[in-house]
Each structure stands twice: as structure tokens, then as C-alpha cells.
Amino acid sequence: MSAIFAATVFVVAYALIASDRVNTTLVALAGATAMFFLPVINSDEVFYSRDTGIDWDVIFLLLGMMIIVSVVRQTGVFEYVAIVSAKRAKGSPLRIMILLVLVTAFGSAFLDNVTTVLLIAPVTLLVCDRLAVSPAPFLIVEAFAANIGGAATLVGDPTTIIIGTGARLSFISFLANMGPAVLIVLAALVALLPRMFPGAFTVEPERVADVMSLDEREAIQNHRLLIQCGIVLAAVFAGFVLHKEIHMEPSLVAMAGAGILIVISGLTRDFYLSSVEWETLLFFAGLFIMVGALVKTGVIDQLAHSASHVTGGNAFLTTMLILGVSFLFSGFVNNVPYAAAMTPIVGQFASSIHDHTSHGVLWWALVLGTVLGGNLTAVGASANIVVIGIAQRTGNPISFWEFTRKGAIVTATSLGLSVAYLWLRYFVLA
């Protein structure tokens, strides 16, 4: 009965979020509250369980990076990068979008994708303001690029960290197997841009002339703070890459960096909290609780186990099933808790595969499906939620369906390319 309650609450909450008629944070918190009162889940399972509770690593990673971005913003470096990017692209919105997509994807491969969009979004808003074009298409595409790039490495996405740790995958092995697939999907995304946003790249000539006449050096307002931020950011990024070796989770690295910058900058809280998206953090908490209830009541586990009987231990069918189910579920259920639920299940799948040489491909199917599938809807991935929160806060709202219409195109393309990649590399050419 509790499984029915949990599934019903989640479906109703999801429908309300998709309707765009009710505040999404309010819906997520109301859904989480309903899970308490039914009761489906208790406080210990919400606040202390790694399987069913709030993922505090994600929450504090977001909070730490939002604070760091708030401090960095005071230096004027975002304005500097915005002007340089616009001038390099000769004021062409399409070329600027391609440049930002490539930077976002590359950054997401070595940072986590949420950190990358937090750093790129302010630049995007400034460039679009200078050119008097809508930033919504740029922000949407950057979320796509962040998720695609995040699939390339072990530290690129919260889900790759979860899957990589559970499967005991090495950084080099991960990059060697996922890197080519990411490059293929990224190239397809760039090719799709003009068709996805027709009419979004028109800009007035005087706006272009205005941008080209700007002196980027005048944008830097605090050189001393810029140097301090550069040193701290370099240390934070190194901490992200070496977090296993130094025994510190990325969330702790981000919070430590935020704390150091607050102290050395001397800024008041009005400044160092200026970029913190409190509503986004609360939305994440509510979503984690609702999905945690699905995990606790066995809804996700039962669905996955039911699907496993279809393949009969065939390596190719199991690979395609994991890929397809992951693309679908990650589009509708935030992919961080989905990855946590599916990792042990895929481990069980691997032990039942008759073709033992194909064990590894199951993990790559899970990574591609979980990370790239997150592009389908506005709540599919952490980067999507952050981007939409930033857009809402800056007066450039992106509706659930606006994001999903574009996300469906990118996801369908990614799925087709992922099927071809896995089939060719691990079954035809192996």
C-alpha cells in the first residue's frame, strides 16, 4: 500500500510541476510533506539514509559553488569573459552559442556539470544583455551541453561519481570508453542548434558595433580579489579531481573554498549570498524526499527487476534495456537518486550475463542513459534545475514544456547515437 501512496504522490507532484501553473518548489515541498504524513518515509530515512534520504553532497556542493560564484562576480571577471567571447564571435549569436556550448561541455568533463553552469550562466546573461537577445535558448543549450560533457569523465556529473564508485571504474577507463561517445553526441548538438532555435540569432547591427567597441580590461573591478578567487578556484577544481585521494567529497571541497573566499574577501553576506538560489536548493530537497520514498517502497527496484526478466541474460538485449530504461527514467525522475538505485541492480545484471566479455558495456549503457537521459525534461538533471532557477530569478523564465520540447529532440538524437555507439564498439568491433 505504501508503494501505491508513494507512486501516487510522485505522479501528482510531477503533473503539477509539468503544468507550469504552480510554483515548482512549493509542489516539491508539498509532495515531500505528504510522504511524511501518509506515512511513507520517516525523518531518519530522509535526513540520514544514503539510499532514501536527501543527497546532502549535492545540496552542499550547490551551496558552496553558489557562494563562490557570488564572490567571483564582484571581481567583474564575468563581464570580461562575456565581452571577450562576444568579440571573438564577431557579435554573432550563433557563434557565441557554439562557443559557450563547447566551453560548457569541456568544463563539465573536468568539473561537475552543476558547477560549470553556475560559472557560465552569468557570462551568458551578460552577453545576451549586450546583444539584446533572449538568454533562454542559450541557457537551455548550456544545460544540455553540461549534461553531455558530464558523461565523459568520472567526476563530470554526480551520477558518474555514483556509478563509477559502485562499479569501481578508473578515471582513465571511464574517459576512454565515454569520451568518444560524448564527442559524437556533442557534435550532433552543435549541428542541431540552428534548427532548434530558428529566429533566435537575429541581432541589430548597432548592438554588434557596440559590443565590438567595448574594452574588456575596463570590466575588471577588483584585481586583488580576482587573484584570490583564481587561487581558491584552482584549489577547488584540483580538489574535485583528486577528491578520492584526499578523502574529501566534492561538497566539502566546495564549502571549504566558499568559506575561505568569504574570509579573505571581507564581503558582507548581501554580496557573498547574492547568487545563492535558495528556491532551487529547497526544490532539490523536496525532490530527493519524493524519489527516496519511491526507492524505500521498492517502486524503482521492482520496475528494474521486472524488466530484467525480459532479456533472459542476453548481453545485447540487457545493454539496450538498461540504456532505454535509463534514458526514460532519468528524464522524468532526477537522475542522481536513479543512479544510486540502479547501480547495485546493474551489478546484479552483470553477474547474470552469459557473455562475460560484455560485462563492462552494461556500465557504459547505464552512464549514457542516466546522464544523457537527464536532458529530456526540466527536472531530469541537476544542471537543468539550476539553469531554470537562474533564468526565473533573472526575469527570463523557462517553462517546463519549453525546456522539454527542445530536450526531447536532443534526447532522441542522443539515444540513437548511443545505441549505434554501444552496438558498434562493444558487439560488432569487439
Average pLDDT over residues 179-208: 90
> What does pLDDT average to over the chain?
84
**pTM for this model (two decimals):** 0.76
Q: Are 373 and 327 in contact (CB under 8 A)?
A: yes
Q: Extract the C-alpha cell encoding 329.
A: 527514467
Which CA distances in Å does 115 have to 67, 146, 334?
11, 9, 17
Average pLDDT over residues 342-346: 75
Torsions phi, psi of 224, nearest 5? -65, -45
Beta carbons within 8 Å of 366's beta carbon, 6+ residues apart:
163, 322, 323, 326, 339, 342, 343, 346
Which CA distances in Å does 397 have to 120, 195, 274, 276, 386?
17, 22, 19, 17, 12
Q: Are 376 and 274 in contact (CB under 8 A)?
A: no
Looking at 71-75, 175-179, 180-184, 255-259, which range is the least confident one?
71-75
The residue type at 39: P
Average pLDDT over residues 85-107: 86
Q: What is the pLDDT of residues 122-146, one digit of tens each?
A: 888 888 888 888 999 999 999 999 9
Closest CA to 230 of 242, 219, 238, 241: 238
Q: What is the pLDDT of residue 314?
A: 77
Q: Where are the domains of the chain?
A: 136-206+298-429
Closest CA to 65 of 113, 13, 26: 113
Q: What percent of the chain has pLDDT over 90?
A: 25
**Residue 360 binned pLDDT confidence (cut-offs 50, 70, 90):** confident
Average pLDDT over residues 6-18: 83
Q: Are 30 and 59 in contact (CB under 8 A)?
A: no
Q: What is the DSSP string of 209-273?
A: HHHHT--GGGG---HHHHHHHHHHHHHHHHHHHTTTTTT--HHHHHHHHHHHHHHHH---HHHHT
Decide: residue 269, CB within 10 A, 0-12 exposed, 13-18 middle, 19+ buried.
exposed
Q: What is the pLDDT of residue 211?
A: 78
Average pLDDT over residues 309-336: 81
Q: What is the pLDDT of residues 369-414, one digit of tens each?
A: 999 998 999 888 888 988 998 898 888 899 988 999 999 999 999 9
